[in-house]
Amino acid sequence: MIEPTAAVRRLATESAFEVLARAKELEAQGRSIINLGIGQPDFRTPEHIVEAGIKALRDGHHGYTAANGILELREAVAADLDRRLAVAVDPAQVLIVPGGKVTMFFAALMFGEPGVQILHPDPGFPIYNSIVRFSGARAVPFPLREENGFAFSADDVLSRITPATRLVILNSPANPTGGVTPRAEVDRLVAGLAAHPRVAVLSDEIYGQMLYDGREHVSLLQYPEIRDRVVLLDGWSKTYAMTGWRLGYGVWPITLVESATRLAINSHSCVNAAAQYAGLAALDGPQDCVAEMLAAFAARRRAVIEELAAVPGLTCVDPGGAFYAFPNVSATGLSAKELEVKLLEEAGVATLAGSSFGPRGEGYLRLSYANSTDNIRAAVARIRDWLEKRRAA
């Protein structure tokens, strides 16, 4: 019998895709399901971006591009980072990849091996833990705490660093909690990292433009003292509603760019050429589409917070960024997974159990508010009614 390797058997998955499949099944049976499970913008990719992709194909951009991405796109990424974050990035440091996830996977391959420890947030994006374990490294979770608004704490990270630690994975604004880490805390972390010069940082800033109520995005690239060991993960998926185009980028320390590019050459060769031209139009074109989507997310966020506040037994800290709310559901007496299943099967609302993002997510649900305000209000009303009926029974 043929079998996959032990490393492949260690790979985990994202339960978001499983919940989506079950929601579709129920819908096919005629059930009404409101989907607050999947983490992708419900907007269409803005028209001028789509047109640029089509034009690229018409203009004959059908072949391979440079493995690290077309130069104009890497220059546009550098200009965008300068404009948004006031950081100077050499386009030679930019590696265009098929989606945000790829930079994460490459970082795990770059730094992970048996004997090494890699720190990641708990609750956090489930793929962090999965790919670290795949690499053979030990995954060491650090807690994100509700009482801190799910910001990471410098002490919680620094106290877990050992001589075996090679990489720390950070994510702000965060999936699944919506937590945003304030600058003072990032300052403290960076100051502490001075004592650990062999530790690299992967900063997943894919939600870096999705912040609310005047919160500021803090990029790890803004700290010159650690620039030679920071890998930035970003991309187009969330900001420009381009999840299906598969387009993302990493900014790598100049000393690692060649190795990272080799990972690209050994896996996908280069990113789809038309998608790269679409990404160029996204960065070079008008940014009102981003502002408009953000305004819609801000209104939906207010709706979800308001509705959740009216559900007896649930509490929810204000999510500062991304498009997720992470209410505490422990007072229901059900496990997060039980609640996820019952809400989907009985109340017709797709959510994700907090526990699918790590053990510290037990007692929470993730609601993605990438849905219309009406659907959000209706979904939370269904949750409230279901909980009331259950209490009455």
Ligand X SMILES: Cc1ncc(COP(=O)(O)O)c(C=O)c1O
Closest CA to 219 of 230, 228, 229: 230
Looking at the Cβ atoms of 101 and 300, the one nearer to ligand X is: 101
Question: Binding of ligand X at residue 301 (CB under 6 A)?
Answer: no
Helix (H, G, I), strand (E, B), or coil: what is residue 65?
Answer: coil
Looking at the Cβ atoms of 324 and 347, the one nearer to ligand X is: 324
Question: Binding of ligand X at residue 369 (CB under 6 A)?
Answer: no
Question: Binding of ligand X at residue 39 (CB under 6 A)?
Answer: yes
Kindly identify the residues of this chain, within the stretch 40-99, that bind ligand X according to CB under 6 A: 99
What's the closest the beta carbon of residue 177 comes to ligand X, in angstroms?
11
Q: Which of 171, 181, 351, 355 binds ligand X (CB under 6 A)?
A: 171
Q: Which of 117, 129, 237, 351 binds ligand X (CB under 6 A)?
A: 237
d(CA 287, CA 54): 20
Question: Binding of ligand X at residue 279 (CB under 6 A)?
Answer: no
Question: Binding of ligand X at residue 204 (CB under 6 A)?
Answer: yes
Q: Which of 248, 279, 319, 348 binds ligand X (CB under 6 A)?
A: 248
Question: Binding of ligand X at residue 101 (CB under 6 A)?
Answer: yes
Tokens of 37: 């499970």
Question: Binding of ligand X at residue 366 (CB under 6 A)?
Answer: no
CB count within 10 Å of CB 176 equals: 32
Phi, psi of 120 (to 5 degrees): -145, 155
Looking at the Cβ atoms of 100 and 358, the one nearer to ligand X is: 100
Looking at the Cβ atoms of 109 and 378, the one nearer to ligand X is: 109
Tracing tokens 């992708």 back to the chain, one arrives at 40
What's the closest the beta carbon of residue 175 comes to ligand X, in angstroms?
4
Distance from the first to the final alpha carbon of the chain: 51
Kindly identify the residues of this chain, within the stretch 107-136, that bind ligand X according to CB under 6 A: 125
Q: Pairing between strand 365-368 and 324-325?
A: antiparallel
Under 8 Å CB-to-CB from 36, ≥6 apart: which residues? 349, 350, 351, 367, 368, 369, 371, 376, 379
Q: Which of 45, 117, 243, 368 binds ligand X (CB under 6 A)?
A: 243
Looking at the Cβ atoms of 125 and 364, the one nearer to ligand X is: 125
Under 8 Å CB-to-CB from 92, ≥6 apart: which residues? 74, 254, 257
Is the CA virtual torsion 255, 258, 262, 268 positive or negative?
Answer: positive
Half-sphere exposure of 357 (CA within 13 A, CB side): 30
Tracing tokens 């269904």 back to the chain, one arrives at 382
Looking at the Cβ atoms of 178 and 235, the one nearer to ligand X is: 235
Q: Which of 235, 250, 321, 358 binds ligand X (CB under 6 A)?
A: 235
Binding site for ligand X (CB under 6 A): 39, 99-101, 125, 171, 175, 204, 206, 235, 237, 243, 248
